[in-house]
Structure 1
């Protein structure tokens, strides 16, 4: 990567000397580290991550006797699937934690290799907000189901019945 950085700087500033290039592009841009050779833009405060800064995460192998269909290992498999939330952005991790890593529509794990959508409980059109308390992570198909006309009609009937029974 360092060679690519040098090549880029030479191409961008062919007439500048090495000291000028070094002062402009390299320095101690990551204040959490003592590394003086970090490539980036000092004016914007942006720095290129180094590969060395990425921690190595080893994969834990599954024992050949552990089956997802074994009811005695259900807690093990749930905990293992919850680790997949680390792949999400922090805001979605927080939403997933709030709902115990389960889809509120189908009541299964969020991590079934299906894309996830952020669903507003109270739609923004009806005055809902983007607060975490108004957001849920759901599978794509579950999200489509929630917004389908048939599902909305049954939901409306349930609301009407609950209002009549409470009155």
Structure 2
């Protein structure tokens, strides 16, 4: 990394490097690449190590163990936090139809009591549903109708 920064600084300085402009002493570190505002480039040792979770021995997405894969999906880094929490809380099952979520399902976050009927946007009032289950529930729970307070 140092060699790349040095080459970059040399290109900016038209062949010469102004050491005091780019490298400073920050805390107990000498030759620390930093700005005048005190922002410093993190070192490799300051980067946290994040371990991945290995897949169990003979488990496959095709063997029907949806409970295992739903739990893993809840721990997958690209899964939104809200979806992961709901997935874990529901143990991988859709409360509307009772089936496990699969990796090909489209899932949606639903308000148990619709917001326009006084429901809050809290985890106690949220559930994860299949898209088709969400459509069915929304059609029957009255959330498609405007409340009395809303203007038409």
TM-score tier (shorter): 0.5 to 0.7
- 1:146 counterpart SS class: helix
2:12 corresponds to 1:14: yes
Q: State whether residues 111 and 121 of structure 2, in contact with CA within 8 Å, keep that contact through their aligned partners in structure 1.
A: yes
- 1:108-163 per-residue CA deviation (whole Å, 9 max, x = no partner) reads 2234322321111112122211111111111222222322xxx42xx67xxxxxxx
Change (3 A) 1:145 1:10: farther
Instruction: Tell me which stretches of 4 or more aligned residues in structure 1 moved more than 4 Å.
Output: 35-43, 45-50
Q: What TM-score results when the alignment is normalised by the length of structure 1? A: 0.52
C-alpha distance in 1 between matches for 2:30 and 2:49: 18
Contiguous gaps of at least 5 residues in structure 2: 143-152
Whose helix proportion is higher, 1 or 2? 1
Q: What TM-score results when the alignment is normalised by the length of structure 2? A: 0.56
- 1:143 counterpart SS class: helix
Contiguous gaps of at least 5 residues in structure 1: 29-34, 157-167
C-alpha distance in 2 between matches for 1:115 and 1:27: 49
Which structure exhibits the higher relative contact order, with contacts defined as CA atoms closer than 8 Å and separated by 6 or more residues? 2
In the TM superposition, what are the counterparts of 1:38-117 in structure 2 within 5 Å? 53-57=48-52, 59-60=54-55, 62-63=57-58, 68=63, 78-87=67-76, 88-117=79-108
Q: Count matched residues.
A: 133
Q: State whether residues 40 and 48 of structure 1, in contact with CA within 8 Å, keep that contact through their aligned partners in structure 2.
A: no
How far the C-alpha of 1:85 sits from its partner, in A, is 0.9
Say what the alpha-carbon RMSD is for the aligned residues. Answer: 4.5
